Each structure stands twice: as structure tokens, then as C-alpha cells.
């Protein structure tokens, strides 16, 4: 079965993979998000470099079914509105801040520690994901793994367990699947 994955952008909201966008209406009421008038808790990934090239876009599309199997229902290409969706979900305990010294070093041309997480960072991000969901808010994992540029990315495949030898975000996807279950569009 083909998965359906919602892509949120600033100007448009489109549905991809065998769907016609007019069949789906995304809306916000108060601090809740809805798809076709049914409340939807956003569980997604921030893939800001997925539109970097035609190749990187095709690579992301190739992995959408796999992401949905982990419970992902949204992929963000640009920043979504807050507070009802945390669209830049990162570990809050990364040494030197995740998007600071942990991920960048002069001359700042690309990221360092791409897709690498300590066990403490993983636990922190998983707990943050759970907290957002328990409060009825969406959560989107943002990662150097997804957002780095050539020659190290962009990486649309999930990668691995976040270790030095097996970098990636699969560890978060596995936690998401345990929390949410597989995403199946209705």
C-alpha cells in the first residue's frame, strides 16, 4: 500500500504520492491541526535540503513509504507555524547547542557530527517528542543528517542508530513508531 505523506510549506500545502491535493484540506483551529476536519497530530521530519536539487527531491520521495512505516505523516520543506508544531525538534542537551558548536565549526560551509547523537541526546529528543504528543502538539525531527549539503548529503534515507559508525535518524524513527505506530492515511 502506498503511503500518503503530508508536506507542509509556507505558501502551499500539498499531498504527494498518488494523491490529488484538492482531496485533502489541512487546517488549524486554535492550537490544533486538522486534515479533512479530523484532528491530526503531526509527526514528522524537517528536510530543508530536500528541494536542493531534483536528485535530492527524488531521493526523499523514494523514502516516503519507509518513513510512513515508522509513523511519520509530515515532511517539512520550509518552516511551519508554531506553537502547535515543533518544527525544529532537536536534542536540547547537545554540547554547545545542537545548531551551534555541536553541529558547526569554521568555516561553517557544512555541518559536523552529521547524524551523530549521544545516548543522552537521543533520550532527550525522544522525551521531548513524547511530551509534545502528550500535550496534543506536533513534533518534527530536525537533524544535520537530513539537512546537510554535498558532499555529505542531503540524506533522505533514514541512516542508522546515530552512532559514529552508523549515523542517521533511524533511532528516532524507531522511537516514533513505538510511540505512534505506522502512519496510514485515511
Listed by start position, the domains of the chain span 5-180
Percentage, residues of the chain above pLDDT 90? 42
More confident of the two residues 42 and 149: 42
* Helix, strand counts (H, E) of the chain: 5, 9
Q: Which residue has the cell 515543533?
A: 86
* Whole-number pLDDT of residue 82: 57
Write the pLDDT tens digit of every residue in 1-23.
333 444 333 222 333 333 344 57
Q: Which residue has the higher pLDDT, 76 or 122?
A: 122
Residues 11 and 76: their CA atoms lie apart, in Å, by 12
Neighbour count for residue 25 (Cβ, 10 Å): 11
Q: How far apart (Å, rounded) are the C-alpha atoms in residues 24 and 165?
A: 41
- In this prediction, residues 68-86 reach a mean pLDDT of 75
**Predicted pLDDT of residue 173:** 96
Mean pLDDT over each residue of the chain, to the nearest integer:
81
The residue among 87 and 41 whose pLDDT is bigger is 41
Question: Counting Cβ atoms within 10 Å, is residue 115 exposed (0-12), middle (13-18) or buried (19+)?
Answer: buried
Give pLDDT, residue 86: 85
The 8 Å CB, 24+ separation contacts for 11-20 are: 16/61, 16/64, 17/61, 17/64, 17/65, 19/185
| pLDDT(57) > 90 | no
The reported pLDDT for the residue numbered 167 is: 97
Between CA 14 and CA 2 the distance in angstroms is: 16
**Residue 89: which H helix or E strand, with range?**
strand 85-89
Amino acid at each position: 500500500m502506498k503511503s500518503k505523506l503530508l508536506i507542509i510549506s509556507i505558501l502551499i500545502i500539498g499531498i504527494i504520492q498518488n494523491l490529488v491535493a484538492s482531496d485533502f484540506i489541512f487546517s488549524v483551529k486554535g492550537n490544533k491541526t486538522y486534515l479533512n476536519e479530523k484532528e491530526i497530530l503531526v509527526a514528522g521530519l524537517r528536510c530543508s535540503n530536500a528541494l536542493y536539487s531534483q536528485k535530492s527531491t527524488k531521493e526523499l520521495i523514494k523514502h516516503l513509504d519507509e518513513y510512513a512505516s515508522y509513523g511519520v505523516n509530515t515532511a517539512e520543506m520550509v518552516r511551519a507555524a508554531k506553537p502547535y508544531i515543533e518544527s525544529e525538534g532537536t536534542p536540547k542537551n547537545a554540547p554547545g547547542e545542537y545548531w551551534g558548536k555541536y553541529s558547526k565549526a569554521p568555516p561553517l560551509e557544512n555541518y559536523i557530527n552529521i547524524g551523530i547523537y549521544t545516548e543522552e541526546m537521543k533520550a532527550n529528543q525522544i522525551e521531548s517528542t513524547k511530551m509534545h504528543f502528550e500535550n496534543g502538539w506536533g513534533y518534527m525531527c530536525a537533524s544535520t543528517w537530513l539537512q546537510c549539503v554535498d558532499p555529505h548529503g542531503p540524506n533522505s534515507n533514514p541512516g542508522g542508530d546515530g552512532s559514529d559508525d552508523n549515523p542517521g535518524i533511524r533511532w528516532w524513527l524507531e522511537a516514533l513508531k513505538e510511540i505512534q505506530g505506522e502512519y496510514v492515511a485515511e
